[in-house]
Amino acid sequence: MSIVDLAMQNLASPMVLFFALGVAAALLRSDLSVPEAAAKFLALYLMLAIGFKGGVEVSKSGLDPAMGLTIGAGILLSFTIPLAGYFFIRLSTRLGAIDAAAVAAHYGSISIVTFVAATEIVRGLGLAYEGYLIAVAAVMETPAIVAALLLARRAAPAERQDGQREGMGALLREVATNGSIVILVGAFFIGWITGERGMSMISPFIVDPFRGILCLFLLDMGLVAGRGLRQGARELSPSLVAFGIYFPLVSAAFATAFAAVLGLSPGGAALFITLAASASYIAVPAAMRLALPEANPAIYLTLSLGVTFPFNLSLGIPLYAAIAQRIAG
Amino acid sequence: MEMHRKKRIEILLEAPAQKRLTDLLDRLDVTGYTVLPVIGGKGHHGVWSREGLPSAAGAMVSVAVIAAEERLDEVLVPIFELVRRHIGIVTVSDVTVIRGERF
């Protein structure tokens, strides 16, 4: 399938269309909304299901020596992508150092929902993927935050540095024990321990309704992104919007080189590249509010959720899948 | 009925910093506090709503503390020091309570 066919097929999928419906409803100022508690439940369900499925896959395939290397590569990418991101933001936009560091953290970290959407696209192409990529996703959340804080410290005045140093340990603990990471990693280990027997016991809950719940969650993401765009668009200059689209491709290029060296399967490579190209909008925004409260949240939230997420969901993931099939196929 | 004059400190604060604030209140040994969710509103950065948010970023909480007048500065200064760097509002108002020995 060509890249264009793949992109067209993806654009016409229920996932992308429900996301678009959410954006349109928010822009039209509809009162359509998903209550906060329901949104959190949907996110929990998706983390549980994807973590469990990954664990079951590892139990079937057994421990792969490439797992440790891929996890190491994920940590390295998560740490270095913010450094590259910061450089590109400062080069191509007029954003100040603190805002640039906060934005860079989002791009080094990952969006688990983008990853979940990518697993559906990869599955639709009939490609298998390494279950341990769930563990890779989990370890890629935090190093980006450390890199961003180091960047901010270089740029920040001394008195602000003291405040940050005081909270660094607590902050990293808070991110590492963030609810979405705990449920993702916990479900991964439960899936690994219980294997196919566990899967047969709970598959009516985590397999059959998965796509429908993903659509509902993406509708909510569309609503939040649309509201963010309506209210935060004035914070985004054309150069920042451009960054939100071209920088995932830069990250994807880094990850493509790693995926080729690691010898990942085509499906695994597509997901690994997607992880690197995605931008966080759940764990990192909350961490940045604690670590860099001076940074403007309207900039990083709108850029991550309003620009990069829709780009990855509609065009990015099919592109990464096509690249992965070429390098790993 | 006998009434007692106290100070009510209300801190409207961005949700990610809630735990830091309540940890601080515990360290300050206040006699209690109440955390309330808030639905939405409008401030310097425009309209905000917690509907549909999967992350704590973007949401706000309200924390109310009742303190004896003589303890006001001791409690208020560190609270403000914490809130100063975040999105938030601190207000202090006079209240009367019935069971004065509790605060």
pLDDT tens per residue, range A273-314: 999 999 998 888 988 988 898 898 889 989 999 999 999 999
* pTM recorded for the entire structure: 0.88
Spell out the domain ranges in chain A. 3-23+33-328
Q: Which of B16, B50, B52 lies at the smallest CB-CB distance from A220?
A: B52
Q: How many CB atoms lie within 10 A of CB A326?
A: 13
Closest Cα in chain B, distance from residue A147 (Å): 20
Architecture of domain A3-23+33-328: Up-down Bundle (1.20)
Res. A167 pLDDT band, cuts 50 70 90: low
Count of domains for chain B: 1
A35 CB within 8 Å of a chain B CB: yes
CA A189 vs CA A43, A48, A58, A109, A174: distances in Å: 19, 11, 9, 22, 21
Continuous segment of H or E residues that includes residue B34 = strand B34-37
From first CA to last CA, the distance across chain A in angstroms is 13
Mark the ranges of chain B whose per-residue pLDDT is less than 70. 54
Question: What is the residue range of B97's domain?
Answer: 4-102
Tokens matching residue B39: 């639905």
Strands B46-49 and B40-43: antiparallel
Give me the percent of chain A exceeding a pLDDT of 70. 96
CB contact (8 A) between residue A35 and residue B51: yes
Radius of gyration of chain A (CA): 19
Least confident interval from A4-13, A208-217, B76-85: A4-13
Is the pLDDT at A163 greater than 50, yes or no?
no
Give pLDDT tens digits for A229-281: 888 788 889 999 999 999 999 999 999 999 999 999 999 999 999 999 999 98
Residues of chain A neighbouring B19 (CB-CB closer than 8 A): 174
Residues of chain A neighbouring B56 (CB-CB closer than 8 A): 286, 289
The pLDDT of residue B96? 94
The pLDDT of residue B42? 85
Radius of gyration of chain B (CA): 15
Is the pLDDT at A79 greater than 80, yes or no?
yes
How many residues are recorded in chain B? 103
**Strands laid side by side in the B34-37 sheet:** B34-37, B60-67, B4-14, B88-97
Give me the percent of chain A exceeding a pLDDT of 90. 62
Residues of chain B neighbouring A231 (CB-CB closer than 8 A): 46-48
Q: In DSSP terms, which residues pair with B89 in a beta bridge?
A: B12
CATH number at residue B98: 3.30.70.120
Is the pLDDT at A99 greater than 60, yes or no?
yes
| Amino acid (one-letter) located at A106 | H
Give pLDDT tens digits for A134-155: 999 989 988 998 898 888 888 7
